[in-house]
């Protein structure tokens, strides 16, 4: 397996957007709709060539083999895929798991939310920008335990 | 053309003065009414805080409309020429009798202030809408639907509601693993309440219209609204699971999971009690028996009725005021 060296993928911040690359969040990695579909295919079916992916996605969506090839090459350059030459064709596998990608993307989204007022656009059960100290949480847990025992707060 | 511009400048100056005056009144009154706001029923409190955020803008729009109404009603053929009633006025807020002179410098300054505030509010709205749309796409791309929930494979303990008109609920596998079934049910019920009551939309409207407040008031109202939305959703969750302590426990457990994450974000440390502390303590108390206050709605209806009935008087008073400025 080969990996491109010096890629800026993980040096950059991550985001996923469907608007051709420009994103006001300015978070670097852009995963388009087709790129997401390709990643989905590889996560589900494992190692695949561009032809395999084209058979699964391209025919249904009316996308040419060339487009699939260039999309997979782009994902490889972004270090999201690994590839190996088998005979005359490359066989690709994912280099990033779904959970790893989600975690990185979410980390970036949360960082953005914590840094500005965009947090008004969502509501969260537990605010990741609000970290409680251990002492405060222990105190709250004691209050809850006391309440369960039938005491008052 | 000069006449139209002069009238537009006078009307905009009038609206701007009203906006600034209302912003100052709210800034002075807020410390006085805050205890009452914090005691109001949660469902009403969220709407009241959003209304308070938009009060300067709303009052400016209402005043301008009321002052122009005699002229507008004449244009619509609903009444005769109102200017004949006060023909002695040096200045007429009237589309039929446009001012013949250029707008005075004082009106131009007020218009400039109004335009700057409007530009700031528009920029804020556009930025928030764009980033909100991007966040929604990010989350949609990395999640999959199971029932009414979109699930995200991530160790982050997330339960989010994203979207303005058709909000979606996102829950992460990290939260699913970290909470027991009843606690997860409480967290999802909490998000359902945010979704049902469109809290994100309410917060967006309050934030954008809040641009017309003084910065300190903007921050205070934003913080109060945020807490009110969270507490309202906590109360809904407590009713859903029929166990207030269970919701409190889910909240603390979720914050334990957050605390266990590598630090990607900064904590807010303003020296006051944190929001999770306030929320948990509120859940551990008996449900508040806050009365539903109808008088803010009554006051709003009465103000609108007065503006409608007294539009001639407002129109006259505004013409006098503007004549003094000129």
Q: How far A60 CA sits from the closest chain B CA (Å)?
A: 20
Q: What is the pLDDT of residue B293?
A: 63
- In this predicted structure, the answer to whether residue B26 has a pLDDT above a threshold of 90 is yes
Instruction: Round to whole Å and give the CA distance between B91 and B172.
Output: 63
- When pLDDT is averaged across residues B240-257 and rounded to a whole number, the result is 91
Q: What is the pLDDT of residue B1?
A: 59
Q: What is the pLDDT of residue B290?
A: 59
- Asked if A131 and B252 come within 8 Å (Cβ–Cβ), the reply is no
Q: Comparing A89-93, B39-43, B128-132, B268-272, which segment has the lowest mean pLDDT?
A: B268-272
Pick A126's closest partner by Cβ from B154, B254, B277.
B254
- Asked if A129 and B266 come within 8 Å (Cβ–Cβ), the reply is yes
More confident residue, B50 or B85: B50
More confident residue, B276 or B79: B276
Q: What is the CATH number of the domain that holds A55?
A: 1.10.10.10
Cβ burial, residue B167 (10 Å; 0-12/13-18/19+): buried
pLDDT tens, position by position, B225-238 = 988 999 999 999 99
Instruction: Round to whole Å and give the CA distance between B308 and B320.
Output: 19
Q: Which of B255, B270, B271 to mutate to test the interface with A (most CBs of A within 10 A)?
A: B255
- Asked if A125 and B155 come within 8 Å (Cβ–Cβ), the reply is no
What is the count of structural domains for chain A?
1
Per the domain annotation, does A98 fall within a domain?
yes
pLDDT tens, position by position, B177-219 = 999 999 999 999 999 999 999 998 999 999 999 899 999 999 9
Residues of A in contact with B156 (CB under 8 A): 103, 106-107, 110, 128
Nearest CA to A144 out of B182, B249, B178 is that of B249
How would you classify the pairing of strands B149-152 and B143-146?
antiparallel
- Asked if B159 and A103 come within 8 Å (Cβ–Cβ), the reply is no
What is the count of structural domains for chain B?
1
Instruction: Find, in chain B, the residue whose alpha carbon is nearest to that of A111.
Output: B265
Cβ burial, residue A131 (10 Å; 0-12/13-18/19+): buried
Q: What is the pLDDT of residue A93?
A: 94
Q: Which domain holds residue B232?
A: 2-325
% of chain B beyond a pLDDT of 70: 91
Sorting pLDDT into bands at 50, 70 and 90, what band is B316?
A: confident
% of chain B beyond a pLDDT of 90: 29
Q: What is the pLDDT of residue B292?
A: 62
Pick B249's closest partner by Cβ from A113, A124, A144.
A144
Within 8 A by CB and 6+ apart from A68, the residues are A34, A38, A50, A53, A54, A57, A58
Per the domain annotation, does A129 fall within a domain?
no
Q: Please indicate if any CB of chain A lies within 8 Å of the CB of B218.
A: no
- Asked if B134 and A25 come within 8 Å (Cβ–Cβ), the reply is yes
Q: What is the pLDDT of residue B323?
A: 75
Instruction: Find, in chain A, the residue whose alpha carbon is nearest to that of B282.
Output: A153
Q: Across the 153 residues of chain A, what is the mean pLDDT of every consecutive 10-residue run?
A: 32 30 35 79 92 86 88 89 90 87 72 60 70 80 88 53
Q: Please indicate if any CB of chain A lies within 8 Å of the CB of B209.
A: no
- Asked if B131 and A125 come within 8 Å (Cβ–Cβ), the reply is no
- Asked if B267 and A129 come within 8 Å (Cβ–Cβ), the reply is yes
More confident residue, A112 or B241: B241
Within 8 A by CB and 6+ apart from B4, the residues are B98
Pick A111's closest partner by Cβ from B127, B137, B265.
B265
Per the domain annotation, does A12 fall within a domain?
yes
Calculate the average pLDDT of chain B: 83
Instruction: Round to whole Å and give the CA distance between B36 and B31.
Output: 10
ipTM: 0.71
pLDDT tens, position by position, A105-138 = 777 666 665 555 656 777 777 766 666 677 888 8
Q: Which of B50, B128, B130, B138 to mutate to test the interface with A (most CBs of A within 10 A)?
A: B138
Per the domain annotation, does A133 fall within a domain?
no
Q: What is the pLDDT of residue B54?
A: 92
Per the domain annotation, does A109 fall within a domain?
yes
- In this predicted structure, the answer to whether residue B267 has a pLDDT above a threshold of 50 is no
Pick A122's closest partner by Cβ from B162, B233, B251.
B162
CB atoms closer than 10 angstroms to residue B301: 11
Give me B271's structure tokens. 């020296």
Q: Please indicate if any CB of chain A lies within 8 Å of the CB of B111.
A: no
Per the domain annotation, does A100 fall within a domain?
yes
Instruction: Find, in chain A, the residue whose alpha carbon is nearest to that of B219.
Output: A117
Q: Which domain holds residue A21?
A: 1-122
Give me B160's structure tokens. 């989010």
The answer to whether B285 and A153 have CB atoms below 8 angstroms apart is yes
Q: Please indicate if any CB of chain A lies within 8 Å of the CB of B168.
A: no
More confident residue, B227 or B87: B227
Q: What is the pLDDT of residue B288?
A: 67
Q: What is the pLDDT of residue B10?
A: 81
Q: What is the pLDDT of residue B289?
A: 64
Q: How far A86 CA sits from the closest chain B CA (Å)?
A: 31
Q: What is the pLDDT of residue A8?
A: 27
More confident residue, B316 or A142: A142
Residues of A in contact with B175 (CB under 8 A): 125-126
């Amino acid at each position: 397996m080969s990996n491109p060296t010096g890629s800026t993928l993980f040096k950059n911040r991550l985001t996923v957007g469907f608007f051709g690359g420009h994103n006001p969040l300015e978070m670097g990695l852009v995963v388009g709709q087709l790129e997401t579909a390709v990643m989905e295919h590889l996560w589900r079916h494992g190692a695949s060539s561009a032809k395999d992916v084209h058979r699964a996605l391209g025919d249904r969506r009316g996308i040419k083999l060339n487009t699939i090839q260039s999309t997979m090459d782009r994902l490889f350059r972004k270090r999201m895929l690994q590839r190996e030459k088998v005979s005359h064709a490359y066989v690709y596998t994912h280099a990033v798991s779904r959970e790893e990608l989600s975690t990185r993307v979410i980390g970036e989204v949360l960082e953005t939310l914590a840094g500005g007022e965009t947090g008004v656009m969502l509501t969260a059960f537990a605010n990741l920008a609000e970290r409680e100290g251990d002492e405060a949480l222990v105190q709250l847990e004691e209050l809850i335990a006391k309440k369960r025992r039938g005491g008052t707060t | 053309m000069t006449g139209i511009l002069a009238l537009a400048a006078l009307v905009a100056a009038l609206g701007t003065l009203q906006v600034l005056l209302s912003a100052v009144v709210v800034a002075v009154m807020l410390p006085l009414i805050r205890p009452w706001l914090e005691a109001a029923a949660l469902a009403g409190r969220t709407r009241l805080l959003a209304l308070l955020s938009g009060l300067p803008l709303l009052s400016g729009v209402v005043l301008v409309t009321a002052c122009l109404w005699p002229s507008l009603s004449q244009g619509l053929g609903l009444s005769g020429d109102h200017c004949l009633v006060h023909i002695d006025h040096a200045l007429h807020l009237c589309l039929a009798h446009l001012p013949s002179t250029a707008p005075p410098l004082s009106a131009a300054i007020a218009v400039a202030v109004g335009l700057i505030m409007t530009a700031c509010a528009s920029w804020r709205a556009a930025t928030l809408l764009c980033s909100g749309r991007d966040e929604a796409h990010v989350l949609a791309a990395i999640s999959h639907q199971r029932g009414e929930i979109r699930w995200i494979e991530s160790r982050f303990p997330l339960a989010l509601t994203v979207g303005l008109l058709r909000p979606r609920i996102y829950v992460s596998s990290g939260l699913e693993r970290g909470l027991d079934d009843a606690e997860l049910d409480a967290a999802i019920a909490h998000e359902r309440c945010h979704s049902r009551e469109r809290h994100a939309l309410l917060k967006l409207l309050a934030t954008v219209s809040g641009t017309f407040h003084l910065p300190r008031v903007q921050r205070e109202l934003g913080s109060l609204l945020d807490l009110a939305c969270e507490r309202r959703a906590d109360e809904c969750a407590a009713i859903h699971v029929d166990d207030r302590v269970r919701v409190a426990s889910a909240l603390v457990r979720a914050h334990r999971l957050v605390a266990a994450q590598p630090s990607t974000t900064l904590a807010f440390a303003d020296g006051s009690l944190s929001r999770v502390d306030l929320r948990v303590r509120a859940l551990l108390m008996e449900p508040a028996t806050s009365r539903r206050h109808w008088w803010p709605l009554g006051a709003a209806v009465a103000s609108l009725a007065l503006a409608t009935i007294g539009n001639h008087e407002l129109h006259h008073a505004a013409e006098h005021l503007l004549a003094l400025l000129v």
